[in-house]
Amino acid sequence: MKVNRIGIIMALVAMSFIFTSFTGLLAGATITGGGFTIYSPSQNNQVYQYGQTVTLTFTSPYKNSEFTITIDHYENGIPKLYNSIGAITNSTGGFSGAILSGDNPTGTYLIIVNDAQYSASVAFNVTIVPPHYEQATLQVTVENETNEPIIGATVEVLNSTTNALVTSGTTTSSGTVSLTVPYFGVPVTYIVKASASGYVTENTTVNVTSNGTFPVTLILPKTGFILVEEGVFQNGQSIAPPTDNFVNVYQGIPLTIEYKAVNDGMPAKGAEITEMVTFPNGSTVDYTGTVGSTGLVNITFTPTISPNTTLNMIIKASATYNSMNTSLPYSIYVTATFNYYKTISEIESEISSLESTTSYLNKSIMSLNSTVSSLESKITSLSNELSSLNKTLISLNNTVTNINSTTVPNLEAKISSLSSQISSLKSELSSVNSTVSSLKSSVSSATTLIYAALIAGIIGLIIAIVAIVLVLRKIK
């Protein structure tokens, strides 16, 4: 089976070479075969420097189709499987991606692109040559958490792909070491690792992009449980760098010291920090805080105000964590002076407040003046309206007087005349009523006579009819 596979591969390579040579005359250096058009590599047997990335880019008629990239490395003239990559073409049948990157062995590689669904394939070679590289310099500094140099620390530079050791060295009395590494003309990433007795091993990465010098700094936490000072702050500003144990501050303003507690380089979350402050009279006060998830805690107190007097205080800090105890390796000496600037600032602030109040009162007075002016205008308007109303009332009084003297007597005369006419009409109506009653009596008498005459006539008619009936019977 091995012989058959090698034979098939060699046949594919030969056919690819023949087809590539023929199509290369038609389309420059582009590799084609099986419907694939290879644009990168741009030619068969393209040469790459050691560490350089090989990118495959092609087009094909096989849209959204799965295909396999087989990479064989020639060993003693025989191709052996080095890697196999599965991928899918895009919606236009194209593909672009890295197929060899990092530190790959030098030599020739056979690349076969095969789409089993369409029975299509193309093969070509690429060659990786030994590195012709320049040298870059890594200037490594190793410090502890208080930024003090660590002498005799071991520094190693590793290949980021294989973790193989590239070079190593030891830090000098300044905590530095200079190491040279290969630069292949393309960006390369290295791992820089530092270790020292009594410290936690740390590492970082550095991207070498030229043959220049690249600074690298590694901070190594001490092993075990330790407490360090991160800074002193007052009024929201840093007033002393870490490890500075002589601090000048102002009285009456909160003073904050930030501490960091770590255990074997990891944040000692939950550690209890005690800050003991000794005052000039020998009295002490303890301030406490609990370390958070970042390993940090801020402890704040306010130096008392003592005008015209400088207060000298001593601060000592200690920590407890999981039955372990540690303390800050030094005391912090605090000199608190009376804050004349604060007093001046407060006076200036009070003056500013008074000025603001005065400005507000002036504005209020102006507003009141405007209101008074508006009220005066309204009073004038009301006076004009009252004057107009008085004139109207005078006119109405004149009208009423005129009505009382002329119109009312005329109306009373007319009412008297109408009353006389109504009395006359009432007399006439009474006479009419008497006449109607007389007529009703006459009609009643006439009605009785009429009814008697009608009855006599009906009786006479009945007698006549009986007489006629008797006559007719006799005739028969």
> DSSP secondary-structure letter at 439?
H
The predicted-structure confidence for 22-68, as pLDDT tens digits, reads as follows 343 333 347 999 999 999 998 888 888 888 899 999 999 999 999 99
Averages of pLDDT over each 10 residues, the chain, 476 residues: 46 43 42 94 85 92 96 89 95 95 87 96 90 85 91 93 85 94 84 93 94 95 88 88 84 92 90 94 94 94 87 94 91 88 75 88 88 88 88 86 78 82 83 79 68 82 86 73
Taking alpha carbons only, the member of 231, 234, 232 closest to residue 339 is 234
| Residue 310 DSSP SS3 | coil
- Separation between Cα atoms, residue 295 and residue 227, nearest integer Å: 10
Distance of CA 280 to the CA centre of its chain: 51
Please report the pLDDT score of residue 1 as a whole number: 40
| Residue 3 DSSP SS3 | helix
CATH, range 2-129: 2.60.40.10
Kindly report the three-state secondary structure assignment for every residue of 220-277.
CCECCEEEEEEEEEECCEEEECCCCCEEEEECCCCEEEEEEEEECCEECCCCEEEEEE
Please report the pLDDT score of residue 21 as a whole number: 38
Please report the pLDDT score of residue 444 as a whole number: 67
- Separation between Cα atoms, residue 106 and residue 83, nearest integer Å: 15
- Separation between Cα atoms, residue 55 and residue 45, nearest integer Å: 14
Please report the pLDDT score of residue 443 as a whole number: 62
Contacts of residue 173, defined as CB under 8 A and 6 or more positions apart, other chains included, come to 149, 151
CA distance readout (Å), 429 to 77, 419, 433: 157, 15, 6
Query: Is there a contact between 343 and 253 (Cβ–Cβ < 8 Å)?
Result: no
The predicted-structure confidence for 339-396, as pLDDT tens digits, reads as follows 776 667 778 888 888 888 888 998 889 888 888 888 888 898 888 888 888 888 888 8
- Separation between Cα atoms, residue 425 and residue 436, nearest integer Å: 16
> Parallel, antiparallel, or unpaired for β 176-183 and 165-170?
unpaired
Please report the pLDDT score of residue 29 as a whole number: 43
Please report the pLDDT score of residue 345 as a whole number: 73
- Separation between Cα atoms, residue 188 and residue 103, nearest integer Å: 10
Own/partner long-range contacts of 147-153 (Cβ < 8 Å, ≥24 apart): 147/219, 147/242, 147/243, 148/175, 149/173, 149/174, 149/175, 149/176, 150/175, 150/194, 150/196, 150/199, 150/220, 151/175, 152/196, 153/194, 153/195, 153/196, 153/199, 153/220
- For residue 222, with 0-12 CB atoms within 10 Å meaning exposed, 13-18 middle and 19 or more buried, which class applies? buried
Query: Is there a contact between 65 and 89 (Cβ–Cβ < 8 Å)?
Result: yes
pTM of the model: 0.41
Query: Is there a contact between 155 and 192 (Cβ–Cβ < 8 Å)?
Result: yes
Question: The CATH number of 134-219 is which of 3.20.10.10, 1.10.760.10, 2.60.40.10, 3.30.70.20?
Answer: 2.60.40.10
AA identity, residue 271: A
Per-residue tokens: 114:
């095969």
Contacts of residue 185, defined as CB under 8 A and 6 or more positions apart, other chains included, come to 49, 52, 133, 134
Looking at CATH, the fold of the domain delimited by 225-338 is given as Immunoglobulin-like (2.60.40)
